Amino acid sequence: MKNIVILTGAGISAESGLRTFRDSDGLWEGYNIEDVATPEAWEHNPVMVQQFYNERRKSVLEAKPNAAHYALAALEEKYKVTIVTQNIDDLHERAGSTNVVHLHGIITRSQSSIKPELTYPIDGWEIKMGEKCELGSQLRAHVVWFGEAVPMIETAAAICAGADLFILVGSSLAVYPAAGLIGYVDRGVPKYIIDPNIPSVNVRGNVIKIQEKATIGVPALVNELLKD
Ligand code: NAD
């Protein structure tokens, strides 16, 4: 069975109402990234950082998967599909995809602030100050901040190396190490890029650019692939 690997970024969830940050001048929902998405921010102002992610979680819970998420889930009818996502939302899972690797964590879980491997489901939308992990540290959102290790990166690189067909959707490829993953895909493998603003990629070989929004470009490509 053909092995399809899809790398998704914030752009695939844009039409579900979740804002990307490259599209808003480097601000994420009005905040400087350094003020909310770094270990230093958490150290200096944990209440503000917790509040920021609580609000993001609320928006994620209110959002619904869109036609692009559903189309990728439908690909499983005919292919072995792995989605590697940079997104912290759970819209791929809610659309029905069964094999999703979250490179940057998932906002619907909480995480120990001293041992990142300790993660927990969250009851509702909020992590409260004072809620602690089993080791006694404050719980925070289960997301990878700038400057933190990306524990899933080696797994993701191996997945990309095994692709027979690769699709990139809605990522500016500005955030490393995720942006380097396309470099692990074999040279001869077709690499589709779906984005209204195609990012520049430093790969040779078979790159097919589809300059469309995710809800148009992804279902169209999936229809073709299901026809084959
Ligand atoms: P990015 O914000 O850097 O880039 C977004 C990309 O999506 C751009 O290339 C843009 O042209 C494209 N795009 C915009 N609208 C689109 C649409 N309708 N269809 C298809 N593409 C569209 O996003 P990134 O490369 O994923 O990197 C940002 C980081 O921000 C990620 O690591 C992620 O963890 C985090 N983030 C996540 C979410 C989320 O989980 N939904 C939202 C914002 C940011």
Q: Choose which residue among 6, 8, 22 to substitute to test ligand 1 binding: the one with the highest number of ligand atoms within 8 A of its C-beta.
A: 22
21 annotated to bind ligand:
yes
Q: Choose which residue among 13, 19, 20 to substitute to test ligand 1 binding: the one with the highest number of ligand atoms within 8 A of its C-beta.
A: 20
Return the number of other C-beta atoms located less than 10 Å from residue 121's C-beta: 8
User: Could you tell me if 199 and 173 are in contact, meaning their C-beta atoms sit under 8 angstroms apart?
Assistant: yes
Nearest partner of 99 among 5, 193, 190, judged by Cα: 5
Q: What percent of the chain has pLDDT over 90?
A: 88
**Same domain, residue pair 178 and 218:** yes
CA of 134 to the centre of ligand 1 (A): 34
**Same domain, residue pair 24 and 12:** no
User: Could you tell me if 214 and 70 are in contact, meaning their C-beta atoms sit under 8 angstroms apart?
Assistant: no
- Beta partners for 165? 4
Tell which of 116, 143, 170 closes a domain.
Answer: 143
Amino acid at the residue 164 = D
Q: For the chain, what is the mean pLDDT?
A: 95
- Write the pLDDT tens digit of every residue in 65-82: 999 999 999 999 999 999
**Same domain, residue pair 53 and 157:** no
Tell which of 93, 114, 143 closes a domain.
Answer: 143
**Same domain, residue pair 191 and 177:** yes
- Write the pLDDT tens digit of every residue in 155-207: 999 999 999 999 999 999 988 899 999 999 999 999 999 999 999 988 878 99
User: Could you tell me if 50 and 127 are in contact, meaning their C-beta atoms sit under 8 angstroms apart?
Assistant: yes
82 annotated to bind ligand:
no
Is it the case that residue 84 has pLDDT exceeding 90?
A: yes
Nearest partner of 170 among 22, 65, 54, 59, judged by Cα: 22
Tell which of 143, 165, 199 closes a domain.
Answer: 143
* pLDDT at site 25: 66
**Same domain, residue pair 84 and 193:** yes
**Same domain, residue pair 80 and 186:** yes
- Write the pLDDT tens digit of every residue in 101-126: 999 999 999 999 999 999 999 999 99
Active-site position among 69, 92, 102, 104: 104
**Same domain, residue pair 139 and 191:** no
Number of separate domains in the chain: 2
**Same domain, residue pair 56 and 168:** no
Here the CATH number for the domain that contains residue 185 is 3.40.50.1220
**Same domain, residue pair 183 and 154:** yes
Ligand 1 atom at minimal distance to the Cα of residue 68: 19
User: Could you tell me if 182 and 203 are in contact, meaning their C-beta atoms sit under 8 angstroms apart?
Assistant: yes
Here the CATH number for the domain that contains residue 28 is 3.30.1600.10
User: Could you tell me if 167 and 221 are in contact, meaning their C-beta atoms sit under 8 angstroms apart?
Assistant: yes
* pLDDT at site 21: 75
CA of 141 to the centre of ligand 1 (A): 19
Is 104 tagged catalytic? yes
* pLDDT at site 30: 82
* pLDDT at site 62: 97
Amino acid at the residue 11 = G
**Same domain, residue pair 120 and 54:** yes
* pLDDT at site 26: 65
13-27, 85-99, 116-130: range with lowest mean pLDDT: 13-27
- Tell me the mean pLDDT in the region 44-65: 97
d(CA 227, CA 114): 49
CA of 76 to the centre of ligand 1 (A): 24
DSSP strand pairing (105-112 vs 139-143): antiparallel
**Same domain, residue pair 169 and 210:** yes
CA of 13 to the centre of ligand 1 (A): 8
Instruction: Give residue 224's domain range.
Output: 1-18+65-104+150-228
**Same domain, residue pair 180 and 215:** yes
Q: Which residue has the higher pLDDT, 176 or 141?
A: 141
